[in-house]
Structure 1
Amino acid sequence: MLKSLFNWKVLLNLVVAIGIFVGLVWVTFRWLEYHTNHGQEIPVPNVINKSVYDAVKILEDTGLEYEVDSAEYNPKYKPFQVLKMHPLSSSRVKPGSLVRIVVNPRTWAPITVPDVINKYSGLAFQRLDQVGLKIGDTIYEPSIQKDALLRVLYKGNAVNPGSRLPRFSIIDVVVGSGPMRNISIPNVVGLSVKEARAVIAKNLFEVGLIEHEDGSKDESDIIYYQDPASGDVRDQGMQIDLWASKRTPAELRAKVEQLNSIYRMKVDTSLPPVHYDEVPTSRPEPSYDPPAAAPVPKKEVPKHEPAKTEPAKTTNAATGTKPAGTVTEKPKTATTNNQSSGNKPATPASTTQQPAQKPKAKKVVVE
């Protein structure tokens, strides 16, 4: 066994195999050194704050590969200005190595326009401001959707939701101001269904029910009847019902008369006009008399009785003396008694008279 192992043929094969292995390893390392430029390094040039065009030319002349990436736009720097690089300018790399540079973009990165169509204008403005769009002019347009955002305009063109615009772009918005009142309805009888749709939309109305005579939905059918009728006055957004047929309106007079009896109100002008009396909308206000004041009790003023005159005293004409036993009472006030003239004695007037007492009866004795 050992004798066969040390045979010269076996040893020769073993030496040849070892030589082949060593040769392959040597060739492999030599190839790697040549391919990877082992031991050869070059410095990375500084391209920061240069324009991207100048930076690319410098890297190509140095024998380095490059990769350009954009950062978030910064208005402090110029567009396409190199902000960062990797590896740094102080590094040494092999020829053909990759250098990554970060460039300031020309403007803000585009953003997606949110879906704010037909939304309340207050919420729509807030949403547009959140994504970075600035609102310029607000245009009000008649619409049944009052205070709703109808369209978004960018440089005069309508922008659909999902479109991409530069950040902080100035946009205009169209907001509904409410429906217009008392618009005359156009005449679409004799037009095709397609033409009638365009005329109705142009006059700010909407297409309602479309009834085709043959049950089809051919847009080329001719309109032979409409409700409301042309010339009537309606508000914006009202629906106009249409009846269409492949025949002309002249051929469908019987059908038109039948529809008139249903949708048109006939007014009999032979009857005299009806007069309506105006009824007061409010009841007359009742008049309230102030309550009568309670009578104030009057103070009783004592009546002043005229002083009674005593009967004339008889005197003795012969003697001229008063008769004896006569009791006389001097009157309170002087009076003039003219018996011959028959005048009544005057009653004295006094402002501060005491209440008169009933005089007691006096006895007059005449002898």
Structure 2
Amino acid sequence: MNLFRVSSIKDVLIHLAIVLALGITILVVFFYVYLPNTTNHGETVTVPDLEGIHLDDIDEFLTKRNLRFEVLSDSGFTTEYEPFTILNQYPLPGSKVKENRKIFLTLNAVNPPKVKMPDLVDGSVKNAQLVLQSYGLERGNIKYVPDLAQNAVLEQKFEGKDIEAGTFIPKGSKIDLVVGDGLGNTVLEVPDVNGMDLEEAEFIIVGSGLKVGSVLLQEADPEGRNAREVVENAAPDERYVVVRQNPGSERKVRIGEEIDIWLNVLEEQEDSILDEEEEETSDISETE
């Protein structure tokens, strides 16, 4: 009993020191011995990437890594994986978690959900691709057919048959497209534009239901300019005309096809015409 007897200030200080030491000892033992042994403090596991693993294999896979799992009622769908394959997880791959942590999984559904078929007709192929992706559908084969609407969707097909917009089909289905190639079925005779200037030749070609293809110079420009630049910057006494075309005027082509033309200055042709006229005049004078 003498241990707890307080007879002086010294005894009080000794008692306080003993209480303080006991308190510190208890705290150290609690935080550095008890808690680590009961909560596995400092022992973490890196969450693996589970996407693409089948549900049948996940139990053994996570057990080896001291983790558990729970399958969520919600599911997704993609044609990339088989049914009951993991699509998403939480916590995310690479996260640090304690051992025996539960990983929540979202599986690929057995039956794909139904989505409405969008209306792709009269739109461009590029637009059709974007719309199909937004609906969870895939673009199948593209078949080009003669039509003036270039790269425009003319028909949309599912499993080889026409499908109307608004029809419900499985998500992930492939949609085939029938697309115009910019050319029609009508066969035209190629107009003869030889001897015409560029503006007139283009007017005749386009007016005939055809397209102007490449515009070239018969002889390369020393300054490296293209045909249009040469024509635009030609001197007042220089007139460039068509001296060659491909396809030629004897050919027949489908509507919408391109006609390439070659230009050359008319000066040489005019000189030759003048020479011929002078020769004819001299011949007449000699005869007289």
TM-score (structure 2 length as normaliser): 0.38
Larger strand proportion of the pair: 2
If asked which structure has higher relative contact order (CA below 8 Å, sep 6+), I would say 2
TM-score (structure 1 length as normaliser): 0.31
